[in-house]
Structure 1
Amino acid sequence: MKRQLRQWIKKTKLVETGLHLVMRGFACLPVHPNRFLFESFLGKQYSDNPRAIYEALKKDHPECELIFSKDRHRAFDDPTIRTVNRMTIRWIYLLATSRVWISNSRLPSWLFKRKGTIYLQTWHGTPLKKLALDMDEVQMADTTTERYKRDFAREASKWDLLISPNAYSSLIFRRAFDFSGELLEIGYPRNDVFYKTERHPEIRERVYSRYNIDTTKKIILYAPTWRDNEYAAKGSYSFQLPFSLEQFEKRFGAEYTLLIRMHYLVADQVDTADYPSVRNASDYPDISELYIAADAMVTDYSSVMFDYAHLKRPMIFYTYDLEHYRDQLRGFYFDFEQEAPGPLVLQQARLFEEIDRLHEWSDRYGPAFAAFEKKFCQWDDGTASVQAYQRLLKSVSNQHKGESS
C-alpha cells in the first residue's frame, strides 16, 4: 500500500511538473481581454459564488467569453455552460490566456499566474473555525502544518481581489490568509438568491420534484461541516452519521422529509434507501436552493449557518463532538456556545426534542438570532454578483489601458 502511494505521488508530481512547464510555454500567447475562467470546489460543482457571478455576467455582458472548469468525472446539469476539464492541456491553455480567474477555493500551488491575469478569490464561507495561517495544527494525512501554511500563503499571494461577506470576516481574512490586496466588502454573491423572493416558489417546487417529496410535508436540511479527522489518506475518507435514520423515520416521517447534504468527499457514504422520509441531497447542484426549500436546518460548525440566517428560519446545532472539535481539531473565532442562534445539543435524544419544538424557535431564540443576523448578514442585499463583476470589469479595463499605453 505504501509503495502504491509513493508511486501515485511520484506520478502526480510528474504530471504537475509537466503541466507547469506547458503553462510557462503558453505564457507567450496573448491574453484574451474578455475571457473569464470560473471554478467551484475544485471543479466538483457548478455552484456557489463563482456560479452566481457567472450567471449575472452572462446575462448582462454576453460579449464576455465565460468558461467553467470542472472535474473530468463530473457533468453539469445545464448543457449550455461552456466547460473545460481540469488538469488537461486545454485547461492550462485557458488559464494562461484568460484575463480573469474566479474561484472559491485554492487552485493548485504549481499554477503560474502571469502578469495581466486578475485573480478573484470569492472563498466559500464566513469562518467560525480557524482558517489557514490561524490554525494551530493541520490534521490531514498528506501534509504537515508547516507545509500546509506555506502552500496556503503562496496561493493567497496570487489573489488580486477577495470577497468578504461581513466586517467580521474581513478582519479574519486579512490575517488568516496574510492578504494585503483589495477586499470586496459586498456580501456573498451566492446569497443574492435569498433576496429574489419571486423565484422561491419555483425553486421549492424543483427540490420537491427532484426528490419526490410529498408536498404536504416539511423539509429539514441536515448539513454538517467537513471534519479534518475524516481525512484518512489520499482519496480515502471516513464518515458515520451521528444519529439514527431509523429513529428519525419512526418519529418524524409523517411530518418531515430529511434532506442530508454532506461534503462531496463523503457524500456517497450515506445510504438512505431504507428510509422513505430521508433523501441524500449531496448531489444537488446548489445548496442555496436546498436552503430555500428547507423549513428548518440542522447543522453543527458549518458556515452554512451564516447563509441560512438570511432566510430567518429555525436552526438546531447538533454539536455531538463539541469539546473535541473546539479544543483539538480547529478552535473557534468567537464564543459559539454563547452566540449560536439556536439550541446546541450533544445527544440524539436532545436533537429529536428540539425538532419537536421547532414551532417555538422564534420565541425562544429571537433575540439571539437578531444579534447574529446583525453581525453576519450586514452587507447582503441581493446585488453582490453585479457588484463583483462590475469591479472585475473595471480591473479588466484598467489592465487593458495599461497594456495599450
Structure 2
Amino acid sequence: MRLIQIHDEIYKKITKSGVFIINFSNFYLNELIKERNILNRVRGIYDDRPLQQGKRLFNGHEVVIHSYDELKELPDDAICLILSGYYKEIFDKLKNIEILKQKFKEIYFYADREISYDLYYRHKYKKNALHDIVVFRSAGPASHYMAGWEFSDNPRALFEYMLCNGYNKKYELVWLVCDPEKYQEKYRDVPNVKFISYLWADTEDEVKRSLYYYYICLAKFFFIAQTPIFMRNARPDQVRVQLWHGSGFKGDRAKIVDEKRYDYMTVTSETYASIHAKLYGLRKDQMVVTGQPKNDESFHPLQAWRKILSVPVAQKYIFWLPTWRASEIVTDVKLANETGLPFFTKNEQLKELNDLLTTLDMVMVLKLHPSEKNVQDNEAIKDLTNFVVLDNDFLAEKDIQISSLLGNADALISDFSSVAIDYLVLNRPIAFLMDDCEAFAESRTFHWGDIENWLPGLKLYNVDDMKQYIKEVASNIDSGAKLRSDLYHVFHKFRDDKSAERVLQAFDLHL
C-alpha cells in the first residue's frame, strides 16, 4: 500500500464515484472544498479519535464520523483520502489494518499550500548538510494567536540563557513568530539572532517563503512549547525537543499520540516523565528530566518590577494565578458573577480583602490566564488600593514574562495551574483554591484521582480560608512547609537555576 498525494486524475474519479475521508479536519476539508467542490461526493468520514466520532456540524450540515472499525465495510473501489496535517502518521495506522492492505494499493493525502511548499523545499534540501541553526517557537497554531505567547515560556528562557553564555557565537538562533518586526529592533545588534514569521510557510512572497524553509529544512535543533506540526516532515538527523509550558495537575480527555511529532520532551521529575509519556503518547526514552528553563528565572527575578508595573510598595506580596477555566480554545472567557473573578462572587468581598491587605501592609497581585478577560468591566476593582491586576496584553507590551516576576512573591495562591509547581522550587508558602475542584475534575480530569493529597500546600475552600492564609503569611507562619517538603520529590528532581544548562547538555549543544 502506497501513500500518494492526490492529483487531477483522482479528482476526476471522485466526481464519478465519490471519496471516503480518513480523519476529519474542519480546516483541511474547507481548504479542499475551496480548491475542489467535492462536498457532495463525500461518501463517508472515518476517524480513530473517539472525541471526533459521531454527529458533527460542518458548515451548517450535519455529518456523521465513523470509527476505524467501520473501514472494513468500504467497497473495493473506494478512493480513500487522508485529510490531516499528520498524514504520514495516519497512513502508518492504516497500513496496520489488514483488510485495508488487502483491498487498496494506494491511499491518498491532501496537501494544502503549506504542505505542498514543505514537500518541495524538503526535497530541495534533502542532500544538504544541516547547519548550526537552532529554531525556537513558543506560539500555538496561527489561528490561536495571543499577545506575548509567540516569544515566551521555556523556549524564551532557553534562548536568553544561550545569549547570556555566548552560544550565538557558534549557533544561529532563529525565532518563529507572527510579526518579526516586533522583536528585531531589540536584538538588532546581537549577532546570529533572527526573527522570521511562521506565516511565511505558505506566503506567495518567494523571498520570505524561501528564507523560512531554509531554516526549517537545515536547522539542527528545534525547541518548542506548543504546536509541533510545522516539524512534521523533519529529517531523522534534526532534533526536535518539546519543552512544553509546565508540569501541572490537569489531565486531558483527548487521546494524544505525539511519539512521531517530536523526538524528546523535557520534564521536571521522573513522576512527570511517566505522566507525560502516557498523556502525550510518548516512549519512555523520549522523556528527559532536566527541569524547566523558565524556572531558572525565579531565582533571579526582575528587580524593577514594582516601578514598571505600578505596584505599590508593601511589606509582603502574595501572587494569585488562577488556571484557565475554559474547556475549549477561545480568546475571551468571562465568569458570570459580579466580580468577573473566580472564588469571589461579590465586590464587597473584594473590598473586605483589600481592607485586610491594607491593614497588614500587603499587596495581592492577580495575574489571570491570558485567555480570560474577566475584570475588564468591573470598575470596583480599579478602586482597590492593595489589589493589583496584571493584564496579559500589558505584560506582553512591556515584554515581561511571569516567570521573571514569581521570585518577587512572598507567597502564592493558585488552584490547579502548573505555576504552583513552578513556584515550588522557591520553597515558599503556597495555597490552593478548592471551591470548584469537583466541577474542574469533571471537565478536565486530574493526573491523580485523590487530588487533594497531591497538592503541596494549604487548601482554601472559602474566602475566610483565604483571609486566614494571608494573615499567616503576614506573620511568617508557614503551615504548609511539611506538605511541600513531603511532595517536592514528586514534582521536581532539582532545586536550582541550572535547568537551561541541563537542557543544552542533554542534547549536546556546546560552544
* TM-score bracket for this pair, using the shorter chain length: 0.7 to 0.9
Task: Pick from 147, 162, 186 the counterpart of residue 57 of structure 1.
Answer: 162
Q: How do residues 91-240 of structure 1 correspond to structure 2 at under 5 angstroms?
A: 91-108=212-229, 111-131=232-252, 135=253, 145=254, 149=255, 152-153=256-257, 155-180=258-283, 181-195=285-299, 199-200=300-301, 203=302, 205-229=303-327, 231=328, 235-239=331-335, 240=340
Deviations 1:30-62 (CA, angstroms, capped at 9, x unpaired) = 364211111124372433221222122232322
Alpha-carbon distance change, 267 to 99 in structure 1, aligned in 2, over 3 angstroms: farther
Paired with 1:307 and 1:288, the residues of 2 have a C-alpha distance of: 8
What amino acid maps onto 1:52 in structure 2?
Answer: A
Task: Pick from 138, 145, 153 the counterpart of residue 40 of structure 1.
Answer: 138
Paired with 2:477 and 2:247, the residues of 1 have a C-alpha distance of: 23
What amino acid maps onto 1:261 in structure 2?
Answer: K
Which residue of 1 is the match for residue 90 of structure 2? none
What amino acid maps onto 2:120 in structure 1?
Answer: G
Tell me the CA shift for residue 163 of structure 1. 0.7
8 Å Cα contact 1:208-1:214 kept in structure 2: yes
Alpha-carbon distance change, 182 to 237 in structure 1, aligned in 2, over 3 angstroms: same
What amino acid maps onto 2:278 in structure 1?
Answer: R
Paired with 1:325 and 1:220, the residues of 2 have a C-alpha distance of: 24
Tell me the CA shift for residue 334 of structure 1. 5.6
Paired with 1:383 and 1:206, the residues of 2 have a C-alpha distance of: 23
Q: How do residues 273-288 of structure 1 correspond to structure 2 at under 5 angstroms?
A: 273-277=382-386, 278-282=388-392, 283-284=394-395, 285-288=400-403
Task: Pick from 360, 367, 374 the counterpart of residue 261 of structure 1.
Answer: 367
Residue 315 in structure 1 maps to residue 315 in structure 2: no
Deviations 1:130-163 (CA, angstroms, capped at 9, x unpaired) = 14xxx2xxxxxxxxx4xxx3xx31x442211211
Paired with 1:13 and 1:348, the residues of 2 have a C-alpha distance of: 53
* Structure having greater relative contact order (Cα 8 Å, sep ≥ 6): 1
Alpha-carbon distance change, 304 to 74 in structure 1, aligned in 2, over 3 angstroms: farther
Aligned residues: 365
When structure 1 is superposed on structure 2, of 60-69 and 160-169 the one drifting more is 60-69
What amino acid maps onto 1:249 in structure 2?
Answer: N
Which residue of 2 is the match for residue 71 of structure 1? 178
Taking only the aligned residue pairs, the percentage that are identical comes to 19
Paired with 1:220 and 1:8, the residues of 2 have a C-alpha distance of: 46
Tell me the CA shift for residue 76 of structure 1. 4.8
The secondary structure found in structure 2 opposite 1:381 is coil
Structure 2 gaps of 5+ residues are: 1-25, 36-84, 86-111, 141-147, 188-192, 202-208
Alpha-carbon distance change, 268 to 237 in structure 1, aligned in 2, over 3 angstroms: closer
Tell me the CA shift for residue 235 of structure 1. 4.6
Paired with 1:175 and 1:342, the residues of 2 have a C-alpha distance of: 26
Which residue of 1 is the match for residue 30 of structure 2? 10
- Larger Rg, first or second structure (1 or 2): 2
Tell me the CA shift for residue 356 of structure 1. 2.2
Structure 1 gaps of 5+ residues are: 1-5, 136-144, 398-405
Which residue of 2 is the match for residue 326 of structure 1? 441
TM-score (norm 1): 0.79
Paired with 1:290 and 1:13, the residues of 2 have a C-alpha distance of: 48
The secondary structure found in structure 1 opposite 2:223 is strand
Tell me the CA shift for residue 8 of structure 1. 11
Tell me the CA shift for residue 317 of structure 1. 1.0
Paired with 1:12 and 1:107, the residues of 2 have a C-alpha distance of: 22
| Structure with the higher fraction of residues in helix conformation | 1
Which residue of 2 is the match for residue 25 of structure 1? 120
Could you say what the CA RMSD is over the residues aligned between the two structures, in angstroms?
Answer: 3.2
Paired with 1:324 and 1:19, the residues of 2 have a C-alpha distance of: 40
Task: Pick from 83, 90, 106 the counterpart of residue 195 of structure 2.
Answer: 83
Deviations 1:103-154 (CA, angstroms, capped at 9, x unpaired) = 11223378432333210111222231114xxx2xxxxxxxxx4xxx3xx31x
The secondary structure found in structure 2 opposite 1:83 is strand
Alpha-carbon distance change, 215 to 344 in structure 1, aligned in 2, over 3 angstroms: same
8 Å Cα contact 1:192-1:380 kept in structure 2: no
